[in-house]
């Protein structure tokens, strides 16, 4: 895939093109009105090359320039299944009654969101809501009161621990089971998460069978909470 950016500026001569990707070289524009240090293109070149790509420029004096970079296209994220996971995915959903269940997933990584969407799509009795940070996750949880919340730990602004504490301190969301989903997979990380109050702690990459088991247990727990509240209000 090639991305090109074209301008209609003064253009660059052959001498300037030869110096273009040199650090701190502003091609004689040091006294100009545009701020800068002369490292932007150097950083861009390094990033593109680290991803296995190439970057370049074509320019004509008095006409303008075309800056471009090429990257190898990537395969769209798909659900990777380990042994036993494929069979788990084609099983019928566990019977949880006729009620539609709502699950909220708070995650800022689009690929991880897509994987969970692929799993939940096979369960017609579950509606999936998503949020990309802790703040919006808390707002959605308070508005829709989901049966279960899936919470990434490393979120921008507010981490999953803080978001969970806020949810647990609110009477409206205090009894919603919150399942941690995190790449922090050391035993001490899992213990810390469970000790903090997470209902379950799932590590990435997600194992489908483990996720489905945790999801079913959490939904069953959520049902007991609903029944308990209904009994108290009668």
In a domain, 127, yes or no: yes
123 with 204, same domain: the answer is yes
Q: Can you give the residue range of the structural domain that contains 186?
A: 85-233
pLDDT in tens, 165-221: 999 999 999 999 999 999 888 999 999 999 999 999 999 888 888 899 999 999 999
Pairing state of beta strands 64-70 and 54-60? Answer: antiparallel
What's the whole-model pTM score?
0.61
Q: Give the residue from 118, 184, 112, 95 showing the smallest Cα distance to 150.
A: 112
Contact between 221 and 177 (Cβ < 8 Å): yes
Distance of alpha carbon 224 from the chain centroid: 31
What is the number of structural domains in the chain? Answer: 2
Find where tokens 């660059």 sit: 12
Q: Which of 70, 98, 129 is the last residue of a domain?
A: 70
In a domain, 75, yes or no: no
Report the C-alpha gap between 21 and 18 in whole angstroms: 8
pLDDT in tens, 117-168: 988 988 888 999 999 999 999 999 999 999 999 999 999 899 999 999 999 9
60 with 147, same domain: the answer is no
């Amino acid at each position: 895939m090639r991305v090109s950016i074209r301008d209609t500026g003064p253009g660059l001569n052959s001498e300037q093109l030869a110096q273009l990707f040199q650090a701190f070289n502003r091609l004689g524009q040091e006294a100009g009105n545009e701020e800068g240090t002369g490292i932007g293109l150097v950083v861009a070149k390094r990033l593109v090359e680290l991803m296995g790509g190439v970057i370049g420029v074509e320019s004509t004096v008095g006409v303008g320039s075309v800056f471009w970079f090429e990257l190898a296209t990537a395969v769209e994220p798909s659900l990777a299944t380990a042994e036993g996971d494929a069979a788990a995915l084609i099983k019928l959903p566990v019977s949880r009654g006729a009620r539609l269940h709502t699950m909220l997933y708070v995650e800022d990584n689009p690929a991880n969101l897509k994987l969970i969407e692929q799993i939940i799509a096979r369960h017609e009795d579950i509606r999936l809501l998503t949020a990309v940070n802790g703040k919006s996750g808390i707002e959605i949880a308070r508005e829709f009161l989901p049966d279960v919340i899936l919470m990434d730990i490393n979120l921008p602004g507010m981490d999953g621990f803080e978001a969970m504490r806020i949810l647990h301190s609110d009477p409206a969301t205090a009894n919603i089971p919150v399942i941690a989903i995190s790449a922090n997979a050391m035993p001490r990380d899992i213990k810390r998460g469970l000790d903090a109050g997470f209902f379950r702690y799932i590590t990435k990459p997600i194992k489908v069978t483990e996720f489905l088991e945790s999801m079913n247990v959490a939904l069953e727990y959520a049902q007991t909470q609903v029944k308990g509240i209904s009994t108290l209000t009668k």
